[in-house]
Amino acid sequence: MKIKKVFALLFVLVLCVGVCSADEAKLKSPSDLKTEKLAAQRGTVGQFLAEDLLGDKKALLLTTYEKYVDAIAALRQGKVRAVIMDEMPAKRFLSEVEGLAIMNEPLSEENYAIGFRKGNTELVSAVNKALAEMKADGTMDRIFAKYLDGDYSAVKPEDIDFNKGAKGGKLFVGTEAGFAPYELKVGTGFIGIDVEMCAYIAKKLDRELVIENMNFDALPMAVSTNKVDMICAGITVTDERKENMDFSDNYVVGAKQVAVVKSDDYEK
Amino acid sequence: MRNKRYDGAGRGDLLLWIVGAFLLYLLWDSGFFTAAAWSDFNRRFYQNFVKDNRYMMLVDGLKSTIFMTSGATVIGVIVGLILSVIRVAHKGGVHIPVLNKLAETYITVLRGTPAMVQLLIWNFTIFASARDLNTQYIAILAFGLNSGAYVAEIFRGGIESIDAGQMEAARSLGLTYGSSMRHVILPQALRNVVPMLFNEFIALLKETSIAGYIGIDDLTRAGQNIQALTLEHSQPLVMVAIIYLIMVMVLSKLVKKLEQWLSRGRRG
């Protein structure tokens, strides 16, 4: 009985491997993706761009995943032909995973900002002031420089000052810590551009930073129900999102949205 | 989603199952047992679990999973006991129509909606403004109240399985309905339902894997966090699965032992 079951399982596995091989024309540019199976992280701009690309075929061809790792795994296993995502996290995937390529031509360029509950103007202006100061005194450049080369194994969560015990109370920030270099969970703490930026903002506001790590598609809900004060997760400013939340000034301008494909499936 | 009974309980040898799972995974993951594949497996194993003490993320996740499961079971048993006594008492002639209707509604609603949806509602709607509250407590409440509805039915079955003659005898000896219930019926019923309560605990253990949706780093989420760190898809998940499996198998063994111990000295 037991042996039979094991054999049945093995048989299914072999079948799976056998099915997954078919020759297709190579991809050249994002316009080739209009009739292909695509993946994106749920709730991200990558999803919206993929939907635009696919048009009315999106229900058939687009798969959205909770995490980028899942989308990339689907790509590597041939379940989809491309993943639409932000360039910087995509570059990190390329440096760690073999056999992937980023299409030269970006799909769009977006701006990142911090999101707030609609009408929370007081906090928005306070954060904008802190952001302006960061840009002026070079802190912002320093933070970006720390992460830009793609190797941040030296960055330790303990080194980021969360301003514990600040008099002004706590500053709850929602994020999705699977979006390196912007936010990443390491051990029990967090690192990343957004995290360090929020730590600086918290200090300026004399508040203690508390990071709430949740799924990306839960972030708008969390900020609108006041579960967190603000959400900072490489969030692209879009008109649709502006209807439901307020945004700070942009802290990243021109972040490229790119298509990640298998390198042997891509013809430059 | 809900698996009320672990069917493999006590079947086969514990060690065999663990070894089997590992072998199957090795086959799946590396294809063949070549030296290169093995060293690649080792390298990734090192990255995923050894480097920077990443296994501690799993340990912390495991602690959180066990904490939530234990808390939820306690709440579940208390709520379940109250609900079942209400329902049985109503049926047994005690006049509590309103309470009975409430209990019925509670059981219908909580059993008729997915635990995942309930969890999201608890976190983002009911406790929307409770920010200083540890999210784990919200999860415990959500899972506990959900479990209570199931436990209520377990208890009711247990109480109703006691021969009606027991109650009649107790009442004819002059005991009130309440004390007959407390001193005669419930002790016998409890003995019948304890194994099923343990099964409920096992079901809950697996069910808490959805806690990541509200930002709790439970065992499953810990695996996902490692995925985000190492961009490695299969190993963390399989490791998480193995940890769950070992816990469930050990608990199932305990339930079996408990069943034997409880039925000692019983006739027939």
- Provide the residue ranges of all domains of chain A, joining segments of one domain with +: 24-109+258-265, 110-255
What confidence tier does A71 reach under pLDDT thresholds 50, 70, 90? very high
A151-158 long-range Cβ contacts below 8 angstroms, 24+ apart: A152/A180, A152/A181, A152/A191, A155/A186, A155/A191, A156/A186, A156/A189, A156/A191, A157/A186, A157/A187, A157/A188, A157/A189, A157/A190, A157/A191, A158/A189
Position with higher pLDDT, B153 vs B13? B153
Distance from CA of A134 to the nearest CA of B (A): 28
Distance from CA of A136 to the nearest CA of B (A): 32
- Residue B124 and residue A227: Cβ atoms within 8 Å? yes
Which pLDDT value is given to residue B2? 52
Enumerate the residues of chain A whose CB falls inside 8 A of the CB of residue B20.
6
Q: A110-255 belongs to which CATH class? A: alpha beta
- Residue A13 and residue B54: Cβ atoms within 8 Å? no
- Residue A212 and residue B227: Cβ atoms within 8 Å? no
Which pLDDT value is given to residue A231? 96
Residue B206 has pLDDT above 90, yes or no: yes
CB of B145 less than 8 A from some CB of A: no
The answer for residues whose C-beta is within 8 angstroms of residue A171's C-beta and 6 or more apart is: A198, A201, A202, A205, A207, A208, A209, A210, A229, A230
Over residues B204-225, mean pLDDT: 92
Over residues B186-210, mean pLDDT: 90
Torsion of the alpha carbons at B242, B248, B254 and B259, rounded to the nearest 10: -150
Enumerate the residues of chain A whose CB falls inside 8 A of the CB of residue B59.
none
- Residue B131 and residue A213: Cβ atoms within 8 Å? no
Residue B266 has pLDDT above 60, yes or no: yes
| End-to-end Cα distance, chain B | 37
- Residue A6 and residue B12: Cβ atoms within 8 Å? no
CATH number of the A24-109+258-265 domain: 3.40.190.10
Position with higher pLDDT, B29 vs A54? A54
Distances (CA, A) of B61 to A21, A207, B56, B224: 38, 28, 8, 11
CA distance B257 to B195: 9
Position with higher pLDDT, A17 vs A165? A165
- Residue B227 and residue A69: Cβ atoms within 8 Å? yes
Longest CA pairwise span in chain B (Å): 79
Residue B268 has pLDDT above 50, yes or no: no
Which pLDDT value is given to residue B148? 96
Q: CA-nearest residue of chain B to A216?
A: B213
Q: Could you report the per-residue pLDDT of B103-129, keeping only the tens digit for each?
A: 999 999 999 999 999 999 999 889 887
Q: Could you report the per-residue pLDDT of A2-60, keeping only the tens digit for each?
A: 667 776 677 666 665 655 545 568 888 888 899 999 999 998 999 999 999 999 999 89
Over residues A111-129, mean pLDDT: 94
Predicted TM-score (pTM) of the model is: 0.79
Whole-number percent of chain A with pLDDT over 70: 92
Distance from CA of B129 to the nearest CA of A (A): 6
| Facing A73 at nearest CB: one of B57, B228, B233 | B233
Mean of pLDDT over chain B: 87
Position with higher pLDDT, A70 vs B33? A70
Residue B229 has pLDDT above 90, yes or no: no
CB of B230 less than 8 A from some CB of A: yes
Residue B163 has pLDDT above 60, yes or no: yes
Q: CA-nearest residue of chain A to B132?
A: A170
Residue B4 has pLDDT above 70, yes or no: no
**Whether the Cβ atoms of residue A255 and residue A236 lie closer than 8 Å to each other:** yes
Fold match flag (A24-109+258-265 vs A110-255): yes
| Facing A72 at nearest CB: one of B57, B215, B231 | B231
Which pLDDT value is given to residue A17? 61
Which pLDDT value is given to residue B13? 74
Whole-number percent of chain A with pLDDT over 90: 57
Enumerate the residues of chain B whose CB falls inside 8 A of the CB of residue A13.
27-28
Which pLDDT value is given to residue B131? 79
Over residues B144-148, mean pLDDT: 96
Helix pair B219-230, B234-262: axis angle to 10 deg:
160
Residue A117 has pLDDT above 60, yes or no: yes
Q: CA-nearest residue of chain A to B12?
A: A2
Distance from CA of B67 to the nearest CA of A (A): 17
| Facing B128 at nearest CB: one of A188, A218, A226 | A226
CB of B22 less than 8 A from some CB of A: no
Which pLDDT value is given to residue B1? 45
Over residues B167-193, mean pLDDT: 89
- Residue B228 and residue A73: Cβ atoms within 8 Å? no
Distance from CA of A217 to the nearest CA of B (A): 10
Tell me which of 1.20.1070.10, 3.40.50.720, 3.40.1190.10, 1.10.3720.10 is the CATH number of domain B54-262.
1.10.3720.10
- Residue A178 and residue B225: Cβ atoms within 8 Å? yes
Distance from CA of B4 to the nearest CA of A (A): 23
